[in-house]
Amino acid sequence: MYIDTAIVDSQGRVYLKENIRKKAGIKTNSVVEIIAEPGQIIIRPKKPISEELRGVFKLKKKYRDIRDIDALISSISIEELKSELE
């Protein structure tokens, strides 16, 4: 575990130092989850949808080579997604 300090600016922003971002696996433009509980805040990288739902859908042949299923999932409606993945 690595512990460091940061300052919250007037707009509520916190700057995460490079060594903290590297340790947590947070890269530029990463999506993060923020979990707030009394007395603490947890910031962690958000797992891609495709990783969380791995094995739930069977892909059609035309999608088997797609590396970024998240882009496909976020670009179409749920109804379109169901028909494309069934």
Amino acid (one-letter) located at 66:
I
Q: Which domains does the chain have, with CATH numbers?
A: 1-46 (2.10.260.10), 49-85 (no CATH)
pTM of the model as a whole: 0.53
Rounded alpha-carbon distances, angstroms, from residue 1 to 15, 63, 75: 19, 40, 37
pLDDT, one tens digit per residue, over 66-78 is 555 666 666 667 6
Q: Which residue would you say has higher pLDDT here, 83 or 50?
A: 83
pLDDT, one tens digit per residue, over 14-66 is 999 999 999 999 988 888 889 999 999 999 988 776 666 666 666 666 665 55
Calculate Rg over the CA atoms of the chain.
18
